[in-house]
Chains A and B, each alone.
Chain A
Amino acid sequence: MSISVLEALAYFKKPALVVFGGVAGFVVGIWVNSTYFDDATPIQPIEFSHRIHAGENEIPCQYCHVYAARTPVAGVPSVEKCMGCHRSVATDKPEIIKVAQYFADRKPIPWIKVYDVPDFVHFTHKRHIKAGLECATCHGPVDTMDRITRQQPLRMPWCVDCHTSKEVENGRDCWTCHK
Chain B
Amino acid sequence: MSNKINRRDFLKFVGAGTLGAGAGFLAADASKMTTEFLIPQVNLPEDYSPGIATWYHTVCTQCSAGCGISVRTREGRAKKIEGNPSHPVNQGRLCALGQAGLNVLYNPDRIKTPLLRDGERGSGSFSPISWDQALTTISGVLGTLKIQKKANNAYLLSGGVNGHLHELFALFMDQLGSKNYLQHEFSHPASLYAANKACFDEDVLPYYDIRNSKYLLSFGADYLGAWLSPVHHSVSYGHLRQGTEQRGRCVQVEARMSLSGANADEWIAARPGSEGMLALAMAHSIVEQGLYAGADAGDWKQALGAYSPASVAERSGISADRIVRIATEFAAASPSLAIGGGAAGASTNGTANLVAVNVLNYIGGNIGEAGGILFNPASTFSIDAPRPRASYQQMLKLFASLRGNDAEVLILHDTNPVFTLPAAANVKEAVMAVPYVIGMSSFMDETMALADIILPLDTYLEAWGDNIPDPGVGFAVASIAQPVVKRLYDTRSAGDIILALAHQIGGELPANMPWTSMENYLMEMWRSVYRGKSDDSSDQGFRKFWTSILESGVWGESPQQQDRPHQAMGRAMLSAVGMAQPSFAGNESEYRFVMQPYLSLAFHDGRGANLPWMQELPDPLTSIVYNSWVELNPKTAAELAIGEGDVLLVESTVGRFEAPAFIYEAIRPDVVAMPIGQGHGNYGRYASGRGSNPIEILAPETDSGSGGLAWSATRVKISKTGRRVHVIKTDGTTRDLGRNILGQKDGHA
Contacts and interface: CB of A to CB of B under 8 A. Distances in A.
Q: A and B from one assembly?
A: yes
Interface of A: 10-11, 13-14, 17-34, 37, 39, 42, 67, 70-73, 75-81, 102-103, 106-113, 116, 118, 124
Nearest to B45: A78
Contacts of B44: 78, 80-81
Interface residues of B, number: 38
Contacts of A18: 9, 12-13, 16
B511 interface: no
Nearest to A44: B38
A67 B29 CA distance: 32
Contacts of A31: 24
A27 to B, nearest CB: 6
Interface string B42-57: 1110000111100000
Nearest to B1: A11
Nearest to A103: B42
B298 interface: no
A71 B39 CA distance: 17
Contacts of B9: 14, 17-18
Contacts of B36: 112-113, 116
A61 B108 CA distance: 41
Given A26-B24, A29-B20, A67-B50, A108 B12 contact: no
Interface in B14-32: 14-29, 32
B737 interface: no
B35 interface: yes
B3 interface: yes
A26 to B, nearest CB: 4
B33 interface: yes
Given A77-B40, A107-B42, A118-B33, 17 more contacts: A17-B12, A18-B12, A19-B16, A21-B14, A21-B17, A26-B23, A29-B24, A29-B28, A30-B24, A32-B25, A70-B52, A71-B52, A78-B40, A78-B44, A112-B38, A113-B36, A113-B37
A26 B17 CA distance: 7
6 contacts: A18-B13, A25-B17, A26-B20, A27-B24, A39-B33, A71-B50
A123 to B, nearest CB: 10
Contacts of A28: 17, 20-21, 24
A67 B21 CA distance: 44
Contact of A22 (B16, B35, B43, B49): B16
A72 B51 contact: yes
B5 interface: yes
A30 B40 CA distance: 34
B16 A73 contact: no
Nearest to B8: A14
Interface of B: 1, 3, 5, 9, 12-29, 32-33, 35-44, 49-52
Given A23-B20, A25-B19, A79 B41 contact: yes
A151 B13 CA distance: 37
Contacts of B25: 29-30, 32-33, 37
Contacts, number: 137
A109 B50 contact: no
Contacts of A14: 5, 9, 12
Contact of B28 (A33, A71, A118): A33
A75 B41 CA distance: 10
Contacts of B29: 33, 37
Given A17-B5, A22-B19, A106-B42, A29 B27 contact: yes
A81 B44 CA distance: 8
A26 B39 contact: no
Nearest to A76: B40
A80 B43 CA distance: 5
A101 B36 CA distance: 23
A79 B40 CA distance: 7
B22 A29 contact: yes
Contacts of B26: 29
Contacts of A78: 40-44
Contacts of B1: 11
A159 to B, nearest CB: 16
Given A27-B24, A30-B25, A37-B29, A22 B17 contact: yes
A76 to B, nearest CB: 4
A125 to B, nearest CB: 9
Contacts of B21: 25-26, 28-29, 32
Given A32-B25, A67-B49, A71-B52, A108 B35 contact: no
Contacts of B24: 25-33
B747 to A, nearest CB: 36
Nearest to B52: A71
Given A21-B14, A24-B20, A70-B49, A112 B35 contact: yes
Contacts of A21: 12-17, 20
